Amino acid sequence: MISSINNRYRFAAGMFALTLSAATICYSQKHSGGDNAAKRDPRAFLSQPLTIGWRYNSDLTLNLTPAFDQDRVYLPLAGGIIVSLKAGDGTLNWRSEFGGELSASPVADARSVFVASETGKPESGARRATGALRALGKEGGVTQWMRTLAMPLQGSLTLANGKLFGGGRDGKLYAFESSSGEVRWSFAYSAPFDSQPVVAGTRVYAGSEDGNLIALDELTGKLLWRYRTRGPVRGPAAINNGIVYFGSADNYLYAVNTTNGSLLWRKRTGAGVEAVVRAGEDLLVASLDNYVYKFSLRGKRLWKRQMPGRISAQPLITELEALFTPLSSSAGVVLELRDGRQVNSLPVGEEITTSASPITVGGVVLLTTEHGLLAFSQPREPAPLKMN
């Protein structure tokens, strides 16, 4: 997103305030100070003091989550641009510009980065393909293959079982061969997709803009069932032991049977639900009502915590904690999964306006902002003094 001049002033002021507030980012000394700091559970990574290790500055960031692998992050930018950065220090590996505009969050595997784009808008009454899917080489960003599509893919791409899955603006859900871009199957539906497909077992689950969660056979693309809600289904589903859990813009969290799509239970929140993730043996649910909820897998609410803004991005989950990026706030918020207590805060120095989800690569936490990418990590201990 390209910011206005006023946003630039707010950004500069925010970064000045961030510098003055020192960059050690721990929510409260009473939770981390003294001898207790040395006794922390090493699994509680997100509640450790984290500082900004590096930043990549750009006014071209999008509402798309970066792709990543074991040591690199692939940041999508406006104008059909992907940049590859080393997660450890932010070193630029390469920058690839292929035109158009990126239309879905990219993904990466061991050899390629997969990106979907919109190549232009047809003139009134004209018919021409406006979507494209590319595989870029991870070492240089060179196009390995490209597939032209009638309409752009939206939401997020998903990799599973050697295939690439994505839903389009024209109501088509695709499975592509990841090595060649060959279409393995396509499923034509009556409403657009703007979600992230999830593959579990022999099924693909994807939410549609007309309020349906659709289950397809992963090998053939055959429709198995669909469950209708009263609002768009945009977030990824969570699957466990024959049950699929998902949220809808109709304010409900749903649990349905994976075999036939029959409703098991549903729970109401105060607004639309786009983030539903497994958290151990429970569910973590973020609603646009500014609250985060924890439910048992049977639908019992365990806790509810108010946040400083609406949650539209997927949280970053570890074994013990979850990081959220509330819109209109100025910091990421870390909650303890056990009781929902806030245990850390990651100031970004400006208002959070993006729905890009936080990610972690090699012990580095990466947050997309309106003005680039911030990398948080534990501060390095100073080298011991040399004694002559």
pLDDT tens per residue, range 315-353: 999 999 999 999 999 999 999 999 999 999 999 999 999
Residue 14 has pLDDT above 70, yes or no: no
Residues 6+ apart with CB under 8 A from 364: 53, 87, 88, 375, 376, 377
Residues 73 and 188 in one domain: yes
Asked, for residue 387, whether it belongs to a domain, the answer is no
Name the DSSP letter for residue 262. Answer: -
Asked, for residue 297, whether it belongs to a domain, the answer is yes
Backbone angles phi and psi of 119, in degrees to 5: -90, 0
Residues 76 and 174 in one domain: yes
Buried b (16+ CB within 10 A) or exposed e, 304-314: bbebebbbbbb
Residues 184 and 258 in one domain: no
Please tell me the total number of residues recorded for the chain in this structure: 388
Residue 387 has pLDDT above 90, yes or no: no
Report the pLDDT value the prediction gives residue 310, as an integer from 0 to 100: 95
Report the pLDDT value the prediction gives residue 386, as an integer from 0 to 100: 52
Residues 125 and 59 in one domain: no
Looking at the structure of the chain, the number of domains it has is 3
Residues 286 and 350 in one domain: no
Residues 226 and 183 in one domain: no
Asked, for residue 385, whether it belongs to a domain, the answer is no
Asked, for residue 40, whether it belongs to a domain, the answer is yes
d(CA 96, CA 114): 12
Residues 104 and 89 in one domain: yes
Per-residue pLDDT band for 121 (boundaries 50, 70, 90) equals: confident
Q: With beta carbons less than 8 A apart as the criterion, state whether 307 and 345 touch.
A: no
Asked, for residue 33, whether it belongs to a domain, the answer is yes
- Where does a domain end: 143, 166, 194? 194
Which residues share a beta bridge with 227?
A: 213
Per-residue pLDDT band for 388 (boundaries 50, 70, 90) equals: very low
Average pLDDT, the chain: 89
Closest CA to 366 of 156, 134, 76: 76
What mean pLDDT is predicted for residues 280-295? 96
User: Residue 225 is part of a domain; what is its CATH number?
Assistant: 2.40.128.630
Report the pLDDT value the prediction gives residue 346, as an integer from 0 to 100: 97
Residues 245 and 328 in one domain: no
Asked, for residue 388, whether it belongs to a domain, the answer is no
Residues 57 and 88 in one domain: no
What mean pLDDT is predicted for residues 303-321? 96
Report the pLDDT value the prediction gives residue 43, as an integer from 0 to 100: 73
- Where does a domain end: 172, 194, 216? 194
d(CA 353, CA 7): 11
Residues 308 and 318 in one domain: no
Report the pLDDT value the prediction gives residue 8, as an integer from 0 to 100: 41
Asked, for residue 227, whether it belongs to a domain, the answer is yes
Residues 48 and 60 in one domain: yes
Q: With beta carbons less than 8 A apart as the criterion, state whether 339 and 53 touch.
A: no
Asked, for residue 208, whether it belongs to a domain, the answer is yes
3-state secondary structure of 251: coil
Residues 100 and 179 in one domain: yes
- Where does a domain end: 162, 194, 226? 194
Report the pLDDT value the prediction gives residue 265, as an integer from 0 to 100: 98
59-113 pLDDT per residue, tens: 999 999 999 999 999 999 999 999 999 999 999 999 999 999 999 999 999 999 9
d(CA 68, CA 87): 9
Q: What percent of the chain has pLDDT over 90?
A: 82
- For residue 24, give its domain range: 1-65+314-380
145-198 pLDDT per residue, tens: 999 999 999 999 999 999 999 999 999 999 999 999 999 999 999 999 999 999
